Structure 1
Amino acid sequence: MQPASRPSPSEGISDPTERRAPVVPPARTPLDDAPPGTSPSTATGPSPAPTAPAGPAAGVTVPATGAAPGGLRPGPLLVLILGTLTALAPLSMDMYLPALPEVTSSLGTTSTQVQLTITTFLIGLALGQLLAGPLSDAVGRRRPLLVGISLYLVATAACAVAPNIETLTALRMLQGLTGAAGVVIARAVVRDYYSGVAAARLFSSLMLISGLAPILAPVVGGQLMRVTSWQGIFVAQAVLGVFITLLAAWKLRETLPVQRRRPMDLGDTLRTMGRLLADRTLLGYLLAFAFGFSSIFAYISASSVVLQEVYGASPQTYSLLFGLVALGMVGFTQVNGRVLVGRFSPNRLIVVGLGVILGGGALLVVLTAATEASLWVIVPVLWVTISATGLVMPNCTTEVLNRAPHAAGSASALLGTSQFLVGSLVAPLAAMGGGETALPMALTLTGMAVVALGALLALSRPWRRG
């Protein structure tokens, strides 16, 4: 890989109150071709980006023009707030997993019906982002965020007193719908503050928190089940929701100024989404993100059965191995944000990450189909393969949002919706082998990497962007 010499000209949104250096014409984004009258921002296109100095700092760090005076500036507290918001989804799903058997017996239902509460939560999470993202582009980030997570609190508390499985299933969908506001708006807030390399660094920091959530949530849920019932899981989630709601209300100011907002109606929302998807460069990054992330879903859905029943790991060993793989993914995101970004272009890092996933998946296919490899051969390959998603996710997110500076909420909604929809469809494929073979998991990992890398190369053409 070669060092990146300069950022994409589409990166950055200049503050009109600051003294500007000579500018270069900005790259066109999918919203520059919007019809007249859509919104002031789309009529004029993005503000010119300042010329970046030569050197290793290949990004433009730009404070949000809409940040309130004295409001929260980028720093550790912002990372904590936004990271916790993005972690609400995995916490709400994974903390609940140890309670599934008790829910089944307590509500007098079947395991299939209880599993449906997870499916409806994921559906709500995907659909909620399609609403919260465009809404935050229209009225700003702060109000939809606070309303969304406040309703999440209500839905979560109601789950704790659900009298039957039907009510719990409906409330879990509502929990996903409302919790989606935190996930999608947190990404949009990052784009309001930063673009380019600086945004990729901040996304990597957020993934440190959201990546630890799937590791810690089942452990916390299991420990809670030692001292309380399944209802206590939802009480704990509600307490966390109260904490993040109060912290966001106290410290997180509006980051989207009025002049950059887009009027929202169904037709405008659909046109905006259509223009975003019609941009082949953005679509390539979006598909690379969705199918690259689906490798994590494939691993999570199949690893428990594969490692324990096919390769003989004990539950304790499996828990340790699962945590090590997850820590590898988190570690790669931190190396990406602290070491690689700024020295190498995001495009090169995405290609390398997807290439590693593809190579690891192909090696797993060979090991599972043609050899009798042991657990201690399979696990290191899995570790490298899944860890490589830490190079793909933050950089794809940055590139998608850079293509839509005036519709970051809508672009973030597309990221989140595609992520969970593709992941939920792919997960059952990886688990088709049951306790007999790991081959379906290996084939799924390989296939998803092929689709992701193919879409990136065919649509985004990253070699033209450094």
Structure 2
Amino acid sequence: MSSETRMHSGVWFSLALLAAGNVLGIAGIDLVLPAIPSLPQTLGGTAATAQLVLASFVAGTAGGLLLFGNLGHRVDQRWLLAISLTLYALMSFACAVAPNIGTLIALRFLQGASGSAAVVFGPGFIRRLLPPDKAVRMIGLIGSIESLVPAFAPVIGAFLLVRWGWAASFHLSAALTALLALASFVWLKHLPQVPPMTSPGSYQKLLRDPTYLRYALSQAFVLGGLLTFVFGAPSVIVHSWGGVLSDFIRMQMIAVFSYIVAANSAQKAVARWGSETMIHLGTWLAAFSGVALFIYGLIGGRNPMILIPLFLPMNVGLGLRGPPGFFQAIVAAKGDDARGSALVILAIMGTSALGTALVAPFIEQGLPALGAVTAGILLAAVGILRWK
């Protein structure tokens, strides 16, 4: 085997390691989701308390993003990644043997915090492993894989729940992450070493950089707006329109497929028309979709099938602009890749949480309320792109 082939194989193994770490972190919510309703019966507490099992994980993830983002240029990121995966495996096992709901909630916070390194360091590693055009393609490919997690992880979680009980999903997470942690320690030297920054970085410095904010916030608002719509759509379809959950599932599966096709086409589109063109085009497509959904709600539309063509441009837009947009945000961080990545992801989480909270008091009004908030977030993304 030639050195070039070995190097190519090594790069692909490194990328697979990063992708798997991202997927296992994301699955921390969706894999556990089917077990939530049964937790009060087995661990005590109430239905409201059981929801904190999800909220605690999200809060821990947010804290972990900031923590690893801050440590990324002080400690070798390769070691931090391996340690993070090890801690995530241990916390997953601890969750599986939690004696009561309160302990599980506390452990879920630590589980979320410990598993954040892969998503923080991944974009920076990719930028150093691949040339820019291939890095954009890889970010799109990993995003495509991640988009399948919400579709398939709950199905796996439901099977595990029925077959072996609520703790089975945590045992599976622990076992898979332990294997990944072992692989990361073995493969440590093959991951790229992030050089020290020539000048001290900080979150404050990034938040004062208009170029970074332009890319980071437009990225966060497009994905956050899409997630706001996805989180509210089941209530609109089922409760406001009297439809069935399969209507939402059909729409979501088609939307995910369209995103995957667009995201994996982004590299060729960027090579032909440039990053800025694709970022603008994708953002405008997403905003058009949000406004169209709002107008459809205003005129009294109630057909779930019509939602599919109206929602499709939002997913295509995210697919086209997502990979180059994220990559440009990392480049704009000027070497502070870890903090730059952490802030983008944190902004996505914050946007979707805020959007969902804004919709919640008005969700009974149906699509007009959900469409208004979604369109507002996406139009804000268009406005942010005007920053120079």
- Are positions 1:104 and 2:40 aligned together? yes
- Are positions 1:417 and 2:352 aligned together? no
Q: What secondary structure sits across from 1:343 in the alignment?
A: helix
Match runs of 1:381-400 below 5 Å: 381-400=310-329
- Are positions 1:367 and 2:291 aligned together? no
Instruction: Report the CA distance shift for 1:263/1:127 in structure 2 as closer, same or farther (over 3 A).
Output: farther
C-alpha displacement of 1:352: 0.9
Structure 2 Cα separation of the partners of residues 379 and 312 of structure 1: 17
254, 261, 286: which is aligned to 2:196?
261
Aligned-residue Cα RMSD (Å) equals 2.3
Percentage of pairs with the same residue? 25
Task: Determine if contact 1:301/1:430 at 8 Å carries over to the other structure.
Answer: no
C-alpha displacement of 1:193: 2.0
Moved more, 246-255 or 359-368: 246-255
Structure 2 match to 1:34: none
CA deviations 1:379-405 (Å, max 9, x no partner) are 221233234212232122110111234
Task: Determine if contact 1:149/1:178 at 8 Å carries over to the other structure.
Answer: yes
Match runs of 1:272-421 below 5 Å: 272-337=202-267, 339-421=268-350
Structure 2 Cα separation of the partners of residues 209 and 408 of structure 1: 22
C-alpha displacement of 1:335: 1.8
Task: Determine if contact 1:289/1:393 at 8 Å carries over to the other structure.
Answer: yes
C-alpha displacement of 1:72: 5.9
Structure 2 match to 1:74: 11
C-alpha displacement of 1:89: 2.8
- Are positions 1:158 and 2:94 aligned together? yes
C-alpha displacement of 1:198: 2.7
Structure 1 Cα separation of the partners of residues 191 and 100 of structure 2: 42
More helix by share: 2
C-alpha displacement of 1:309: 2.4
369, 376, 380: which is aligned to 1:447?
376
Instruction: Report the CA distance shift for 1:243/1:431 in structure 2 as closer, same or farther (over 3 A).
Output: farther
125, 137, 145: which is aligned to 1:209?
145
Structure 1 Cα separation of the partners of residues 191 and 315 of structure 2: 34
Structure 1 Cα separation of the partners of residues 219 and 83 of structure 2: 28
Instruction: Report the CA distance shift for 1:315/1:401 in structure 2 as closer, same or farther (over 3 A).
Output: same
Instruction: Report the CA distance shift for 1:161/1:277 in structure 2 as closer, same or farther (over 3 A).
Output: same
Task: Determine if contact 2:355/2:374 at 8 Å carries over to the other structure.
Answer: no
- Are positions 1:232 and 2:161 aligned together? no
Instruction: Report the CA distance shift for 1:330/1:433 in structure 2 as closer, same or farther (over 3 A).
Output: farther
Paired amino acid for 2:385: L
C-alpha displacement of 1:71: 9.2
CA deviations 1:390-434 (Å, max 9, x no partner) are 223212211011123422112112222222222222222234443
Structure 2 match to 1:246: 182
Structure 1 Cα separation of the partners of residues 205 and 370 of structure 2: 35
Paired amino acid for 1:335: S
Instruction: Report the CA distance shift for 1:138/1:86 in structure 2 as closer, same or farther (over 3 A).
Output: same
Task: Determine if contact 1:212/1:330 at 8 Å carries over to the other structure.
Answer: no
Structure 1 Cα separation of the partners of residues 94 and 141 of structure 2: 32
Task: Determine if contact 1:126/1:421 at 8 Å carries over to the other structure.
Answer: no
C-alpha displacement of 1:146: 0.6
Paired amino acid for 2:211: T
Structure 1 match to 2:3: none
Unpaired segments of 5 or more residues in structure 2?
Answer: 1-5
C-alpha displacement of 1:235: 1.0
C-alpha displacement of 1:252: 4.7
Instruction: Report the CA distance shift for 1:331/1:247 in structure 2 as closer, same or farther (over 3 A).
Output: farther
CA deviations 1:354-393 (Å, max 9, x no partner) are 1111111111111111133411112221233234212232
Q: Give the paired residue count.
A: 383
Task: Determine if contact 1:156/1:238 at 8 Å carries over to the other structure.
Answer: yes
Structure 1 Cα separation of the partners of residues 333 and 363 of structure 2: 42
Structure 1 match to 2:78: 142
Instruction: Report the CA distance shift for 1:373/1:303 in structure 2 as closer, same or farther (over 3 A).
Output: closer
Structure 2 Cα separation of the partners of residues 100 and 240 of structure 1: 21
Structure 1 Cα separation of the partners of residues 147 and 18 of structure 2: 13
Paired amino acid for 1:242: A
Instruction: Report the CA distance shift for 1:97/1:408 in structure 2 as closer, same or farther (over 3 A).
Output: same
Instruction: Report the CA distance shift for 1:256/1:274 in structure 2 as closer, same or farther (over 3 A).
Output: farther
Question: Quick check: which has more Rg, 1 or 2?
Answer: 1
C-alpha displacement of 1:324: 2.3
Structure 2 Cα separation of the partners of residues 203 and 150 of structure 1: 24
Structure 2 match to 1:38: none
CA deviations 1:173-200 (Å, max 9, x no partner) are 1111011112111122112223533321
Task: Determine if contact 1:298/1:431 at 8 Å carries over to the other structure.
Answer: no
Instruction: Report the CA distance shift for 1:404/1:72 in structure 2 as closer, same or farther (over 3 A).
Output: farther
C-alpha displacement of 1:207: 0.9
Instruction: Report the CA distance shift for 1:174/1:256 in structure 2 as closer, same or farther (over 3 A).
Output: same
Unpaired segments of 5 or more residues in structure 1?
Answer: 1-68, 462-466
CA deviations 1:48-95 (Å, max 9, x no partner) are xxxxxxxxxxxxxxxxxxxxx9696433x3332221222223211111
- Are positions 1:189 and 2:125 aligned together? yes
Structure 2 Cα separation of the partners of residues 261 and 71 of structure 1: 26
